Structure 1
Amino acid sequence: MNFQQAVQTCFRKYVEFSGRASRPEYWWFILAYFVSAFVGGFIHEFVYYLVVLAFLLPLLAAGARRLHDVGRSAWFLLLGLIPVIGTLVLLYFMVQPSQPESNEYGPPPAPVPVGA
């Protein structure tokens, strides 16, 4: 999955908290968020807040699907509310490889063809 496909997929599934998201899908979307927020912050504070607001639900949904991909409940996203330790634990979960077999959250995400 490339950058453009990941961003399109995450915005298309912006309120879909079920299913699974592959590691590249999640991390390309995180990169898109940080770049957009950084650029928006340079343009104007109002633009920055619009970017953050536009990405809020898709980020939560992608995070939930990513946790499902490693076999964890989306409730683990609440660990992000714990300063430092919670963030580190979430980061550890997010960088784990996908479970190759089906789990309670569904089958593994289908690989996207390169030319698609």
Structure 2
Amino acid sequence: MPPTTTYFDQLRQAGYYNQRMSRHEFWTFTLVNAMLTYLVHGIPVLNAAAFLVFLVLTGFAMCQRLNDAEISRKWLIMLFLPYVNVIGLFWLLIYMCQPSYPATNDHGPCRV
């Protein structure tokens, strides 16, 4: 599946944090978000707005990815704690690389 198709499919499902997102979908979505943020970096008005939009979209994508790996979303709270967020970011990076939970869980069937 082309990256643009994956990205637009995930944009349509962005507000639903109670779904699943496979590892491929998550990293494609994150990479396209990073490229778009870099493209609007030079435009001051779009820079702040795009940063906030992409931050919220990445938060929803991280929730969906944790749902897919059958890991509690409570791990995202570590990003907001001072001095702990560096360690939390490291652990979340490891969790984002975990394979999908192969069976159906509370958030739907496996989409791999």
- TM-score, normalised by the number of residues in structure 2: 0.86
**How do 1:1-116 and structure 2 match up within 5 A?**
1-41=1-41, 43-81=42-80, 82-109=84-111, 111=112
Can you give the 5+ residue segments of structure 2 that lack an aligned partner in the other structure?
none
What is aligned with 1:114? none
Looking at structure 2, the residues matched to 76 and 103 of structure 1 have their Cα atoms a distance apart, in angstroms, of 18
Deviation at 1:78, TM superposition (A): 1.6
Residue by residue over 1:73-107, the C-alpha shift from the partner in whole angstroms, topping out at 9 and shown as x without a partner, is: 22222222333101000000000111111123221
- Residue type at the aligned position of 2:39: V
- TM-score, normalised by the number of residues in structure 1: 0.83
Residue by residue over 1:15-52, the C-alpha shift from the partner in whole angstroms, topping out at 9 and shown as x without a partner, is: 101111000111011111111111111x2222211211
Which runs of at least 4 in structure 1 moved beyond 6 Å after TM superposition? none
Tell me how large the CA RMSD over aligned residues is: 1.5
- Any idea what SS the aligned residue of 2:5 has? helix
Assess if the C-alpha contact under 8 Å between 1:20 and 1:68 holds in 2.
yes
Q: Percent identity?
A: 28
